[in-house]
Amino acid sequence: MNLKRLLVILSVVLSILLIPFIAMFYSEEVRWGPADFLIMGVLLLTTGLALDYVIRKNSTKKVFLIVSIVLIFLLTWAELAVGIFGTPFAGS
């Protein structure tokens, strides 16, 4: 993996994590702890690395794989945030 690509992915992940971090200073509704930042950081980093791998790979199923990765990310995020499926991992 190219170091430049990894730095871009890490920069995007950190930029996204800055949104709730800054929001915690302006709103009482946003209450993230260190574990929340760690879990979301791992989820975003894994998604970014998986998307990078699929984009670099020459495959006829590239669009299907990208859509699948994004869908899995969104469903996992929704489950961890509000518990739409009611699994033990739900935040509610």
Contacts of 92 (CB under 8 A, 6+ apart): 82, 83
pLDDT tens digit sequence for 25-52: 999 998 999 999 999 999 999 999 999 9
Query: Which region holds residue 46: left if phi is over 0, alpha if psi is between -120 and 50, else beta?
Result: alpha
The model's confidence at residue 92, banded by pLDDT at 50, 70 and 90, is low
Query: What is each CA distance from 62 to 2, 41, 66, in whole angstroms?
Result: 20, 25, 6
Alpha helix (H) ranges present in the chain? 3-26, 34-56, 62-82
Length of the chain: 92
pTM: 0.89
Which residue ranges make up each domain of the chain? 3-82
Q: Residue 64 carries which side chain, given as an amino acid letter?
A: F
